Structure 1
Amino acid sequence: MTDAQTAANRIHALRAELDAHNHRYYVLDEPSVPDAEYDRLFRELQALEAEHPELVTPESPTQRVGGEALSEFGEVRHEVPMLSLGNAFEEEDLRAFDRSVQGGLGLSAGDLFGGGAEVEYSCEPKLDGLAVSLLYRNGQLVRGATRGDGSTGEDISSNVRTIRNVPLKLQGEGWPELLEVRGEVYMPKAGFDELNVRQAESGGKTFANPRNAAAGSLRQLDPKITASRPLEFCCYGVGQVSGELPATQVGMLQQLKAWGVPISRELKLAKGVEQCLAYYRDIGERRMDLPYDIDGVVFKVNNIEDQQQLGFRARTPHWALAHKFPAQEELTELLDVEFQVGRTGAVTPVARLKPVKVAGVTVANATLHNMDEVARLGLMIGDTVIIRRAGDVIPQVMQVVAERRPADARPVHIPEQCPVCGSAVERTQLVKRSKGKATTSEGSVYRCVGRLACAAQLKQAIIHFASRRALDIEGLGDKIVEQLVDTGLVASPADLFTLAYDQVVALEGFADLSTRNLINAIKDSSKPTLARFIYALGIPDVGEETAKVLARALGSLARIRKALPEVLTYLPDVGLEVASEIHNFFADEHNQQVIEALLARGLSLQEEGDLNPEFAACATLPGFIDKLNIPFIAATGAEKLAAKFGTLEGIIKADWLDLRQVERLNEKAAKSLRDFFDNPANAQRAALIEAQLREFGMHWESEKKTIEGLPLAGQTWVLTGTLELMSRDVAKEKLEALGAKVAGSVSARTHCVVAGPGAGSKLAKANELGVRVLDEEAFLVELKGLGVAL
């Protein structure tokens, strides 16, 4: 076979593959490969066609833009084709583009003795959305269309009218009789997250990324669905125009902005390629904090006459370029799936990948979360997969490329024995309780039952115990913990407080000073607050916030250790499942031994005290009866029973005749109540819960206490961005000391957002909802006004 025949065959194969990808991307909105893989295939085809120009045909993907219009929508013919942009991936690509522009304009490129003429460029982020055209006649929006194949798109007029920031009528005056505005429809990150939550709650399809969500939302046949989606529009240029516009790209966009058309807030003018590169680097550093997804920066020659002089290729303009960021998604092969054991015994699958560079970092491993995720992906060992890495986020397997599955692909199975200690691996059980019954279902997590006899769990438990937000033992890192466990010096967190100088100094990497530093750091950690200690214990499902709730509400370790699940549910944000985890943890004999050993070895808890006044006499008899989940006894029935009998004992002892006298208590409810308390276990349990409520001071007959009001009690605050004068941890502590709850997301119930430099989607959400926003300086002034020492 000749070289020409080989090239022809490869060109034919590349065209077929690219056409298939175009169809999936532009028409079906179901891309099967990441952009980086598509770009590689496209560049290979370009190179082959450049070597063999006789093989170029009009239908080649290099000679057109995308796919065909959907048949469900009417077709729109673009009078001025909607072209795509050439891509740059390296700095030298951008420099070559600049030299090409200078040459095309007849400008001096400079020499060893001086620089040449510098071209002005408009700079703006390359939004990751769907390109659309908006046609205005006499200032009125008359049509919206997708790009389609560049020549023909789809009529989506009804849908674009639902996008809130698309002007239905241009503002001001002086706009041309005919004006075609072009731009990108996209979905902000915050809106995308909320949409996926809604979709999951309603059993609908969730979206892989904001770009797919925007495309799927914009091309709904029912405009009401589009209207319910958080879409936005950003203009980047114009098409056909019957009149004069400013003579520069930036000037033209600013004029459109004056007419009410949204443009990028990041639009800037750069003089020369070096300023372009500086803009690219700046946006790249801020990329993760932007409220929307971008995949690069677009540079355009600013002078419109220069654009016209430079002209077009068949597919792209000579005067514009997209400088893309390193790919966040890549294709690679799943070599194996291994299983890691965490501090709670959770056995988690981890993908071992053929190493590939993603977003500038070589990735060989990726999280798979749990076996439900493996099943959802339909993952098999040997598959080609799409992995994604955004910022510092752990790489994730996003999708399986099913058409590339090899014949010898193997299924993924959870191990029956722990890969570390050999103990049994069991699937967690979820218990859902309702009136009179408990339903058990399988959870998504598998656990090793070996607990601290499992070296992996022991090491992770001690690493967590010593971590910054727990006991904060400085210098006790992962490697040192591994040495302490492997040498047998530490078999529980309590053993840390018996470590002797001679034991530590003998470890690898330790000398006199480092040994004394570690011993002193352990000693310095022996007076934690109650909240830090509870968090350090590593109770399943108990994070920092729940630990703070337990410490603030119950006030002492003794109360927390003995609290029954039903009593714990009187605390805010503590449901019965978490309450059961807490109770079971403290009821475990081994955990009791570890806590007693810690206290015996000098651990002294700070900030212990009485029950928080907020929870004194917080229980009511009707609420107590309702919490027992007696079938057919709802809140109203519970109130009637409490009003009639006055005490729990009276309700337990009530006979049929007594119950018949309860207003509106039907026979079915009365029988259910009598059957419930005729069971001695139920009556004893109810009495036990009541006794503990009385002991803690939470009983309805307990003494009410005066609550000294905190100035921010009941308020929810959010911290975002970088605080320069005070760390976010310190800011959080000060807000909580004032009674505020510090949340991780913004909602309509948020009272205030503190936004430092780099604030992104949370700040945008706050502005959208009209939530009060403070910068750091104003925040510090507010704290001072509330009497906080800074």
Structure 2
Amino acid sequence: MSDAAQRISALRNELDAHNYRYYVLDEPSIPDAEYDRLFRELQALEAAHPELVTPESSTQRVGGEALSAFGEVRHEVPMLSLGNAFDDNDLLDFDRRVREGLNLPGGDLFGGGAEVAYSCEPKLDGLAVSLRYENGQLVRGATRGDGSTGEDISSNVRTIRNVPLRLQGEGWPQVLEVRGEVYMPKAGFEALNARQAEGGGKTFANPRNAAAGSLRQLDPKITASRPLEFCCYGVGQVSGELPATQVGMLEQLKVWGIPISRELKLAKGVEACLEYYRDIGQRRMELPYDIDGVVFKVNTIEDQQQLGFRARTPHWAIAHKFPAQEELTELLAVEFQVGRTGAVTPVARLKPVKVAGVMVANASLHNMDEVARLGVMIGDTVIIRRAGDVIPQVMAVVPERRPADARPVHIPEQCPVCGSAVERTQLVKRSKGKASVSEGSVYRCVGRLSCQAQLKQAIIHFVSRRAMDIEGLGDKTIEQLVDEQLIASPADLYRLTFEQIIGLEGFAEVSSNKLLAAIEDSKRPTLARFIYALGIPDVGEETAKVLARSLASLARVRQALPEVLTYLPDIGLEVAHEIHSFFGDAHNQRVIEALLGESGLQLQEEGELSAEFSAIATLGGMLDKLNIPSVGPGAAQKLAERFVSLQGVLGGDWLDMRQALPEKQAKAVREFFDNPDNAQRARAIEEQLRDFGMHWESEKKVAEGLPLAGQTWVLTGTLELMSRDQAKAKLESLGAKVAGSVSAKTHCVVAGPGAGSKLAKASELGVRVLDEQAFIACLADYGVSL
């Protein structure tokens, strides 16, 4: 080995040792100036001998070339989240469940029973990551993502100073995946924000946002410039043996150079855990980093394995969160925002105040009923609450601090964006033969898409990933398009030209062509996506799928009467009226015709009425849906049996009615149909049922190609070979409905590792259960592959 190679090796070993003492042991052995001298010497030697540069050298933390995008990483062992305890009773319940799960003796009048040992450490407020070491070398870093799949951030985690690029000592497993939190210390956060402000850059709201934003930079050099740190709390995939306890395992990782929490402690029994929680809670503001609670884990690894997992959380660990922080501040004003459906929502503008580590200047007031409930007035001193990432809320007013010039909050009569009238919504409750109207809590602008706020939000929804999925049309681009009057409806998106797009801020030739291609690619949406994209009030993604799968054509959905729509799963009369009203609106009709006409959209997966709904209606059921006063399902069925047809019911005289029903009900039926509007309505429903093929006299079709039609399936636990969304899509393609809970009507439950209460409920009810391998085999039997 040459003199240069020997010196480089010696410097690397010395710097690694100093890093270990500084970051892991918190026992620096040399001044910073001496460390910097050694570092510069190593840099100079590597510059003179580039052939000797290796990835694990301390000099390589500056970051490499920028990436175009992050790759995906599938976690060999899923990264689970933790259940939460919000008060002492929650933690006591957790301890009780642990002791019961381990079959430990309980307490009685003479003692508290067996005590469980727990590891205790602060819950850092950062970003969860995994670091994979092979043969002692760092080979990969990944974000948690959805728990099964994360983003490859290897280039970025290599720049974090306290992440060892190679492990210390010896005896580490060939494969060692450590997991922990990347965070930004308070001092580093304040220094970063000061630099950002001086340079005219964007400042961050809190250390967590700064850490997450810094770690997900496509340019690792930016990450390298940020004061990030890593703290390990556990392991994932390991190819060898580790100590048999949580604390012992973490202490061993520390020996190998992995940073762990300096607050790590072992507590015997739940009372000791509570003491730790209170102690660290008192010292919370003095800590050099933000925390939002404490994590307790059963210390013995064998006990952890015995306790197991529920769907996505372990039974053996819990996060005891600190209470949501509240502060007092002044309500300076109330402004009104306009949403996609025209809802005019009050927003509190506050004198800025720091709540839970974040400067808060705005807070939600929900609606005018909430304003009235709080009794809030402009100028009041109010209590603001912020819990985690939840939008800050006005919780209460401090009436004794109300100033003499406080002003009431009034809903504007005109829309603050377009000037159209603002009207209070009316709630219609339909019951037997009548509809009662009451005032709703929401006020709406009546300007529809002539209101720029509604137009922007409507188009943002239209292009979103689960709707038309037009990549490249972000919120700011849509705002530009609307402000420049280039689009006035979703249909205008398909008229955009290259010249119009390239003139927008942030667009060049390549990005303009890419956006045009994305718009063109969106012209063949499935029927379900298109229905969802329209933004019908109260119609989410699942209801859109029901409409598409059941009626199988946009024409039927557009024509469907509310009573006919209620034959479909999970569509009640109120939602049915919203759907019918939407398609009956002249403006909506023009937009849809423009999309399907000159815009050239071609809907996919349209066809004949779903076989499960052919001839589904009965005369008795239809009469019941008419909501005739005093006539329930039983009486409606008696009418059907007596008269056989709707025309027979409409033409039945008093004597005929009396042979089927008691006097009061017979009179109610006769009076109902004596009203020409009611008779006409009944005929229209029957005619549509016949047109759709749902009429009792229609031909009953055999459900071909949809072997699971009419079945309800439930997914629970962690699927390892596909995501839950993928599994759901495959089941729906076979005609099944995927529900979120198990009931006696459930046909089958697919249970992956960590399945909890849903699996127990299925066993209790005798519902069929498949593991993932059996589920995949079942799909294969129907010709559906991974």
TM bin (shorter chain): 0.5 to 0.7
1:372 Cα shift?
A: 2.3
Q: C-alpha offsets along residues 163-196 of structure 1, whole Å, 9 cap, x if unaligned?
A: 985999x977899994246999xxxxxxxxxxxx
1:450 corresponding residue in structure 2? 447
- Specify which of 508, 511, 520 is matched with residue 511 of structure 1: 508
The amino acid across from 2:586 in the alignment is E
Aligned equivalents of 2:646, 2:399: Cα separation in 1: 62
Q: Which runs of 5+ in 1 are unaligned?
A: 1-94, 100-108, 115-123, 135-159, 185-264, 288-293, 303-321
- Specify which of 695, 699, 702 is matched with residue 703 of structure 1: 699
**Conserved in 2, the CA contact under 8 Å of 1:125 and 1:298?**
no
Distance 1:370 1:765, change over 3 A: farther
Say yes or no: does 1:129 pair with 2:87.
yes
2:603 corresponding residue in structure 1? 605
Say yes or no: does 1:275 pair with 2:207.
no
- Specify which of 581, 586, 596 is matched with residue 593 of structure 2: 596
Distance 1:343 1:182, change over 3 A: farther
Aligned equivalents of 1:364, 1:749: Cα separation in 2: 49
Say yes or no: does 1:677 pair with 2:677.
no
Aligned equivalents of 1:434, 1:627: Cα separation in 2: 10
1:148 corresponding residue in structure 2? none
1:578 corresponding residue in structure 2? 575
**Conserved in 2, the CA contact under 8 Å of 1:386 and 1:398?**
yes
**Conserved in 2, the CA contact under 8 Å of 1:326 and 1:358?**
no
Q: C-alpha offsets along residues 305-335 of structure 1, whole Å, 9 cap, x if unaligned?
A: xxxxxxxxxxxxxxxxx99977742214233
2:497 corresponding residue in structure 1? 500
**Conserved in 1, the CA contact under 8 Å of 2:617 and 2:696?**
yes
Distance 1:171 1:432, change over 3 A: closer
1:297 Cα shift?
A: 2.2
2:119 corresponding residue in structure 1? none
**Conserved in 2, the CA contact under 8 Å of 1:388 and 1:397?**
yes
- Specify which of 347, 351, 358 is matched with residue 350 of structure 1: 347
**Conserved in 2, the CA contact under 8 Å of 1:622 and 1:635?**
yes
Distance 1:542 1:354, change over 3 A: same
Distance 1:623 1:268, change over 3 A: farther
Q: C-alpha offsets along residues 411-454 of structure 1, whole Å, 9 cap, x if unaligned?
A: 33221111101111111111111111111111121110000110
Secondary structure, in 3 states, of the residue corresponding to 2:363?
Answer: strand
Secondary structure, in 3 states, of the residue corresponding to 1:340?
Answer: strand
1:358 Cα shift?
A: 4.2
1:431 corresponding residue in structure 2? 428
Aligned equivalents of 2:702, 2:319: Cα separation in 1: 64
Aligned equivalents of 2:264, 2:770: Cα separation in 1: 28
**Conserved in 1, the CA contact under 8 Å of 2:85 and 2:321?**
no
Aligned equivalents of 1:614, 1:522: Cα separation in 2: 35
1:580 Cα shift?
A: 0.9
Q: Give 1:33-432 correspondences, 5 Å limit.
A: 112=29, 127-130=85-88, 178-180=110-112, 271=251, 275-277=260-262, 296-297=293-294, 328-333=324-329, 334-402=331-399, 405-432=402-429
Distance 1:639 1:132, change over 3 A: closer
**Conserved in 1, the CA contact under 8 Å of 2:717 and 2:756?**
no
Say yes or no: does 1:487 pair with 2:480.
no
TM-score, normalised relative to structure 2: 0.60
Deviates more, 1:343-352 or 1:604-613: 343-352
- Specify which of 636, 645, 649 is matched with residue 634 of structure 2: 636
2:282 corresponding residue in structure 1? none
1:642 Cα shift?
A: 1.0
Aligned equivalents of 2:490, 2:656: Cα separation in 1: 56
The amino acid across from 1:766 in the alignment is K
The amino acid across from 2:612 in the alignment is E
Aligned equivalents of 1:339, 1:455: Cα separation in 2: 14
Q: Give 1:639-678 correspondences, 5 Å limit.
A: 639-662=637-660, 665-678=661-674
**Conserved in 2, the CA contact under 8 Å of 1:368 and 1:397?**
yes
**Conserved in 2, the CA contact under 8 Å of 1:754 and 1:779?**
no
**Conserved in 2, the CA contact under 8 Å of 1:534 and 1:547?**
yes
2:54 corresponding residue in structure 1? none
Distance 1:462 1:125, change over 3 A: closer
Aligned equivalents of 1:775, 1:526: Cα separation in 2: 38
Distance 1:444 1:126, change over 3 A: closer
**Conserved in 1, the CA contact under 8 Å of 2:107 and 2:114?**
no
Q: C-alpha offsets along residues 555-582 of structure 1, whole Å, 9 cap, x if unaligned?
A: 1111111111111111111111111111
**Conserved in 1, the CA contact under 8 Å of 2:327 and 2:355?**
no
**Conserved in 2, the CA contact under 8 Å of 1:417 and 1:424?**
yes
Q: C-alpha offsets along residues 693-713 of structure 1, whole Å, 9 cap, x if unaligned?
A: 111111111111112452485
Aligned equivalents of 2:607, 2:263: Cα separation in 1: 57
Distance 1:278 1:766, change over 3 A: farther
1:77 corresponding residue in structure 2? none
TM-score, normalised relative to structure 1: 0.60
Secondary structure, in 3 states, of the residue corresponding to 1:411?
Answer: coil
Distance 1:720 1:501, change over 3 A: farther
Identity fraction in percent: 64
Say yes or no: does 1:550 pair with 2:508.
no
Secondary structure, in 3 states, of the residue corresponding to 2:362?
Answer: strand
1:676 Cα shift?
A: 1.2
**Conserved in 2, the CA contact under 8 Å of 1:718 and 1:746?**
no
Q: C-alpha offsets along residues 466-514 of structure 1, whole Å, 9 cap, x if unaligned?
A: 1101100010111111111111111111111111111211222221111
Q: C-alpha offsets along residues 110-168 of structure 1, whole Å, 9 cap, x if unaligned?
A: 77389xxxxxxxxx99943246999xxxxxxxxxxxxxxxxxxxxxxxxx9xx985999
The amino acid across from 1:516 in the alignment is N
Distance 1:623 1:446, change over 3 A: same
2:268 corresponding residue in structure 1? none
Distance 1:384 1:779, change over 3 A: farther
Q: C-alpha offsets along residues 646-675 of structure 1, whole Å, 9 cap, x if unaligned?
A: 11001101112322332xx12222221111
Say yes or no: does 1:752 pair with 2:738.
no
- Specify which of 609, 615, 618 is matched with residue 616 of structure 2: 618
1:149 corresponding residue in structure 2? none
**Conserved in 2, the CA contact under 8 Å of 1:133 and 1:181?**
no
The amino acid across from 1:630 in the alignment is I
Q: C-alpha offsets along residues 253-287 of structure 1, whole Å, 9 cap, x if unaligned?
A: xxxxxxxxxxxx9998864996335869xx9xxx9
Secondary structure, in 3 states, of the residue corresponding to 2:326?
Answer: strand
**Conserved in 1, the CA contact under 8 Å of 2:703 and 2:709?**
no
**Conserved in 2, the CA contact under 8 Å of 1:132 and 1:182?**
no
Distance 1:768 1:387, change over 3 A: farther
Q: C-alpha offsets along residues 521-545 of structure 1, whole Å, 9 cap, x if unaligned?
A: 1000000001100111111111111
1:734 Cα shift?
A: 1.5
**Conserved in 1, the CA contact under 8 Å of 2:751 and 2:759?**
no
1:738 Cα shift?
A: 3.1
Deviates more, 1:633-642 or 1:359-368: 359-368
The amino acid across from 1:661 in the alignment is Q
The amino acid across from 1:454 in the alignment is C
Aligned equivalents of 1:620, 1:789: Cα separation in 2: 38
